[in-house]
Chains A and B, each alone.
Chain A
Amino acid sequence: MKCAEVQPNLGAFVLGGLEPDEAAEVRRHLASCRSCQDELPELEEASQVLKAAPPPTADPPSYLKDAILSRVRAEKLASSNEELPSSRDRGSKIRRFMIPTVVASALVAMAAIGILFGWQTESPVVTVQLIPTPELRDELQAEGEDYWGVAELHPQTFGNQHVELKLNNLEKPSPGSVYELWFVSGEKYISAGGFTTEGSEKTNVYLTAPPETPNYRTLLITEEPLDNEPAPSEKVILRGDVP
C-alpha cells in the first residue's frame, strides 16, 4: 500500500472506523513508513481530546430563542415604562386595564412562540381560569369592559412547570410597574416571574415556575412596582384556582 492510499485512511484509523482488513493494511504500512508515522500523533491527539467533548446531540429546542427574545422585549418595555413620567395617580391604575388595544404584530409573534412552546412540553396540561377579583369585576362590569385569561401549567421532569398565560384585553402595566405571577398556598407564596404586555387584545406570556409550585393551588397576577419587594402587592389583577 502506498502513502497516498494510506494517508486519507489515517483519520478513520485512529477513530477505529476502518474495516478490520483495512486497519491491518494501515498497520503494516505504518510499521515501515516514517512519513505516515509522523502524521499519526496529531490525529491521535485530536481523537483523544474528543473524550472530554459534551454530547454532540445537544441541540437546544427551537422555541428557546423566541422565548428569550420575548423576555428581552418584555423587560425593555417594562424598563421604558419605568422611565415615562406617570400621569395617573395610583387609584386610576386599575381603570387603565379596561381599555383594550390591539397590537397585531405582538399577537402574531407571541402566538407563534406559543405553538412551539406547546410542542416541547410534557402532558398532562392543567388549565386554570383567571378572572378579576370580585371588587374589580363589579367595576369592570359597570364600565362595560372586561379582561380575563387562562394559565396552562405544563409539568416538567423535575417538578418545575412551564406556564403559558393567555391573557385577553389586559393593558400595559402602569409606568414603573410590571405584572407578576404568584403561586399561593395559605400564607405562602412563590413568584413565577414578572412580565409586561403590549396592551393587545390577546397576549401570551411564557414563564417557568419552581418545583414547589404544584402544591400551591391558587394563582394570582398582581401589578408590582419595580422595588424588588419579595411579596405580592395588594393590587391583584387576576386570580384563579387550580382545579
Chain B
Amino acid sequence: MPERADKPSDEQLMNLLTGPEVEGALSTLYDRYSRTVFGVGLKLLGDRSLAEELVQEVFLKVWRSSHTFDSSRGTFSTWIYRVTRNVALDLYRKYARRIRPESNGDALMSASRDASPGPQESVDDSWLSWRISRALEGLSAVHREVIELAYFQELSQREISEQTGVPLGTVKTRTSSALKRLRVGLAGEDALREARR
C-alpha cells in the first residue's frame, strides 16, 4: 500500500522499532494493519477471542523480530502477512479441537468438516483476502463506507442515503468511484489476476 509522502513508510517505521521511538512506530503500524490482521484472523480462525490473541501475538512478533525484516526482499505488507499466517497456524494447531465456525464467518480453518478446505488451503486463500483487505484499507473513509454498506450489508443506494444522510446522487457517484479506486488498489496488490482463477 503506497504511503503518503508526508508520513513515514512502513519500512521506515520498522527501522524505528529497535530505538527509543519503538512505541510510536509500533502504534502507527498497528493503526495501519490491525484491522487487516484481525479480519483475516477472523476469517481463518472463525473466533473473535482467537483473532484477538492473533493480533496481540502478531504485533509482538513484529516488534521482537523486526531485525529479520529486510525491505530489499519484499514489502512490509508481505512480511507481516507471513507473520500473521504463521501465528494463525500455530493458534490453529493449539486450539484445533476447539475451533468452530462463526455463524457469519467462512470458518476456513474448520478442517473437521469434510467439505471444508484444510488449513494449508485456507491459508493460501487468506493471501488473497489479505490483499483485498489492504486495498479496502487504502480507500478513503467515505468510499470504504459505501462499499461496506452496499456489498457487505447489501443495502440499496437509497437505504445507504437514508442511513448516512448523504444525498442519493452522491452515494451513487461515490459507489462507482469507490469500485474504480478499489480496482486500482487491487491491481497494486496484484490480487485481480489471482481472483480471476
Measured CA separation A52–B126 after assembly (Å): 8
Known: A50-B151, A159-B98. A11 touches B176 (CB 8 A): yes
Contact across chains for A12 and B172 when beta carbons are under 8 A apart = yes
CB distance from A233 to the nearest CB of B (A): 23
A60 near B132: Cβ-Cβ < 8 Å: no
Chain B residues with Cβ below 8 Å from A50 are 132, 147, 151-152, 182
Interface-located stretch among A66-74, A129-137, A140-148, A215-223:
A66-74
Could you tell me the distance between the alpha carbons of A183 and B27 in the complex, rounded to whole angstroms?
32
Closest to A76 in B: B22
Stretch at the interface among B5-13, B40-48, B75-83, B113-121: B40-48
Count chain B residues whose beta carbon lies closer than 8 angstroms to a beta carbon of A.
Answer: 67
Minimal Cβ-Cβ distance residue in A for B171: A12
A43 proximal to B (CB < 8 A)? yes
Q: Are A46 and B182 in contact (CB under 8 A)?
A: yes
CB proximity of B148 to chain A, nearest CB, Å: 4
Does A115 sit at the interface, judged by CB under 8 A?
no
The verdict on B136 contacting chain A, using a C-beta distance below 8 Å, is yes
Provide the main secondary structure of the chain A interface. Answer: helix
Nearest residue (CB) in B for A15 is B150
**What chain A residues lie within 8 Å of B105 (beta carbons)?**
55
Q: Once bound together, how far apart are the Cα atoms of A130 and B160, in whole Å? A: 54
Q: Which residues of A contact B136 (CB under 8 A)?
A: 53, 56
Q: Is B175 a contact partner of A54 (Cβ separation < 8 A)?
A: no
A46→B156 contact, CB < 8 A: no
Residue B93 at the A interface, CB < 8 A?
A: no
Alpha-carbon gap, A206 to B31, bound state (A):
21
Closest Cβ of chain A to B110, distance in Å, is: 14
User: Do the beta carbons of B40 and A12 come within 8 Å of each other?
Assistant: no
Chain B proximity of A9: nearest CB distance (Å)? 5
- A47 is an interface residue with CB less than 8 A from chain B: yes
The contact size tier of chain A is 35 or more
B130 → A minimal CB distance (Å): 8
Interface pair B180/A52, CB less than 8 Å apart: no
Cβ–Cβ contact A55 & B175, under 8 A: no
Is A1 interfacial (CB 8 A cutoff)? no
**Contact in complex: B132, A8 (CB < 8 Å):** no
Cβ–Cβ contact B186 & A46, under 8 A: yes
Chain B contact residues: helix, strand, loop or mixed: helix
**B141-197 interface with A by 8 A CB criterion:** 147-148, 150-152, 154-158, 160, 169, 171-173, 175-180, 182-183, 186, 191-192, 195-196
Give Cα A235–Cα B54 distance, bound, in whole angstroms. Answer: 32
Cβ 8 A contact of B52, one of A19, A60, A69: A60
Report which of A49, A61, A65, A208 forms a contact with B192, defined as CB distance below 8 A. A49
List B56-111 residues whose CB lies under 8 Å from chain A: 56, 59-60, 63-64, 94-95, 98, 104-105
A160 at the interface (CB under 8 A from B): yes
Inter-chain contact A45/B183, CB cutoff 8 Å: yes
CB nearest neighbor in B for A60: B38
Known: A54-B129, A67-B56, A211-B95. A11 touches B30 (CB 8 A): no
A11 touches B172 (CB 8 A): yes
Asked if A10 is at the interface (CB within 8 A of a chain B CB), the reply is yes
Task: Give the residues from 47 to 95 in chain A that come closer than 8 angstroms, CB to CB, to chain B.
Answer: 47-50, 52-61, 64-65, 67-69, 71-73, 75-76
- Chain A residues with CB under 8 Å of chain B are 7-12, 14-19, 42-43, 45-50, 52-61, 64-65, 67-69, 71-73, 75-76, 156-160, 208, 210-211
10 CB-based A-B contacts, threshold 8 Å: A11-B177, A17-B155, A17-B175, A43-B176, A55-B43, A56-B148, A58-B38, A158-B95, A160-B49, A160-B53
